[in-house]
Structure formats: C-alpha cells, structure tokens
C-alpha cells in the first residue's frame, strides 16, 4: 500500500461490530501509553476491565460512543456517559499524537453542550491529565479507585461548557 502523508481522520458512531477492535485499542493504549504513570500490575488490572468482550460491548453500546477512523481503520474511541461524563477516551499507540484524542474530545464536548450540559466531568488517568488540562479542564480532586487487586489513582476534572449566567 502506498504511504499516505495526510491520512484522513473522521468520526462515526460506535457499531456493535467494532467491539473486538476497540477492545484491542483499549488494551494497547493502556499497555503503551500509561507505563510512565502506572505499574505493570496496575496496567493489567485496568486493561482486564475489557476481558469480557460482551460486557465491554454493552458498556460501549449503552453510552454515546464515537469511533475515530484513520482512513478505514478505527484509531481511537471515546464515550459519554450520563450526559456530562466522559467515561472512556483511548487512542491506539500507533495513532497517538496526531490529533485523534483532540478530535474525539472536541466532539464529545459539542454533543454534551448541545444536550444542555453546562460542564463536562472526567476522571482522568495520570497519563491523560495534561491532555485534559490543556483543553481547559480544571482539577477538582484526586481519587484512588480499586480495580481488581490493584489501586489506581486518577483525577476528577471539570470543564465549563456554557457561559455562566450572572445571578439576577
Ligand atoms: N501529556 C501531555 N500532553 C498531551 C498528552 C499527554 N499524555 N497527550 C496529548 N497531549 C497533547 C498533545 O501534545 C496535543 O497538544 P497540541 O494541541 O498543542 O499539539 C494535544 O494534547 C492533543 O493531542 P492528541 O494528538 O489529540 O492526543 P492523542 O490522540 O495522542 O490522545 C490520549 C491523547 C487520549 C490521552 C492518549 O494518549 C491515550 O489514549 N492515552 C492512554 C489511555 C488513557 O490514559 N486514556 C484516558 C483514560 S481516562 C478516561 O478515559 C476518561
């Protein structure tokens, strides 16, 4: 195949048939992009959340899940849960640093805002925290969550979507 200098990046809604490849993206993203912040045991516990493909598909399907396509291949995905919470944002390591995450976050912010949400909430991994802060998310609190036999730290951040109305 001919190398493409500017591969085309697009978004589309999640389809049930995407589940297996999104599970791979989830695994590879955690394995390759979070190793500076989490131990191998923590990464393994985190990735094992998607071990049950049917369960993972149910989670993706029950949320507003978008898939980023680089040409014809999924390169990342993001999901919005309960109107104003970003539940998942994962980019394949081979596609990292090319604007895939920004495009997904941008789309979720627009969708949440369009549905009337005034702010977006995210429990960001330590590996993704700078990414979110760069986009205007503000840290609220540190959390430690139990995943399998491990404890993982993350940070709750908020981004104001609508202009705050003055109290009248
Ligand atoms: N640290 C600092 N800056 C970053 C990072 C980072 N880890 N990742 C991206 N950026 C910056 C980029 O430099 C870029 O800046 P620019 O606009 O000035 O050029 C901007 O953020 C956008 O970068 P993208 O290329 O759009 O980011 P990418 O496609 O690489 O996706 C993501 C970022 C989603 C954090 C990816 O690295 C990833 O999947 N990480 C591992 C999985 C993970 O931790 N996901 C979040 C879990 S928490 C949750 O799901 C809610």
Structure confidence by residue, pLDDT tens digits, 30-59:
999 999 999 999 999 999 999 999 999 999
Tell me the torsion sign for CA atoms 137, 140, 142, 145: negative
Please indicate whether residue 136, judged by its CB atom, sits closer than 6 Å to ligand 1.
no
> Are 107 and 137 contacting, i.e. CB atoms less than 8 angstroms apart?
no
Residue 164 reports pLDDT greater than 50: no
Mean of the pLDDT values across residues 61-86?
A: 96
**Average pLDDT in the chain:** 94
- Nearest protein CA to atom 18 of ligand 1, as residue: 134
Ligand 1 centre distance from Cα of residue 17 (Å): 26
Phi then psi for 88, rounded to 5 degrees? -135, 145
Side-chain half-sphere exposure of 85, counting CA atoms within 13 A: 7
Residue 6 reports pLDDT greater than 70: no
Residue 165 reports pLDDT greater than 80: no
- Nearest protein CA to atom 22 of ligand 1, as residue: 102
Report pTM. 0.93
């Amino acid at each position: 195949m001919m190398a493409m200098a500017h591969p085309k990046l697009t978004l589309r809604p999640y389809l049930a048939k995407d589940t297996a490849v999104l599970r791979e993206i989830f695994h590879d993203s955690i394995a390759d992009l979070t190793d500076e912040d989490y131990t191998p045991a923590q990464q393994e516990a985190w990735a094992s959340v998607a071990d049950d493909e049917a369960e993972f598909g149910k989670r993706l399907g029950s949320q507003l899940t978008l898939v980023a396509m680089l040409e014809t291949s999924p390169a990342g995905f993001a999901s919005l849960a309960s109107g104003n919470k970003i539940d998942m944002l994962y980019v394949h390591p081979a596609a990292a640093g090319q604007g895939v995450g920004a495009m997904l976050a941008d789309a979720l912010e627009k969708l949440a805002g369009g549905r009337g949400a005034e702010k977006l909430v995210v429990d960001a991994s330590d590996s993704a925290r700078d990414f979110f802060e760069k986009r205007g998310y503000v840290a609220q609190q540190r959390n430690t969550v139990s995943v399998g036999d491990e404890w993982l730290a993350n940070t709750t951040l908020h981004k104001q979507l609508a202009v705050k109305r003055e109290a009248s």
